[in-house]
Amino acid sequence: MDSRKAMLMEMQKLIHEYSQIGDQLTNINKELVWKELNLTDEEALSLSKENLSPASIKAIEKTVKDNMMGLFHDFMCFVDGVSDPSDIEIENDGV
């Protein structure tokens, strides 16, 4: 298997693993959330088991996974040179 295919397969696996956040949603640990996100006590409490059904957790996991896949796709477009970052002026017309 070539290295590019191996990298893409590994990214798919990692995106799946990182999107499986059901335990984090029902057993929130505010100390593990990046300080920049500023998870409030009210937000942490709203993620308790009583407020989220298994179907809700699965829907959130699928949404997170979809967003991560979109991010990876856009990043790879930048790396491959088929798109440029928006709102940033690139020297030499993006070449």
Higher pLDDT, 87 or 72: 72
Say whether pLDDT at 68 is over 80: yes
Main-chain phi, psi angles of 2, to 5 degrees: -75, 160
43 pLDDT band, cuts 50/70/90, is confident
Say whether pLDDT at 89 is over 80: no
90 pLDDT band, cuts 50/70/90, is low
- Structure confidence at residue 63 (pLDDT): 92
- Structure confidence at residue 62 (pLDDT): 92
Q: How many other C-beta atoms lie within 10 A of the C-beta of residue 27?
A: 10
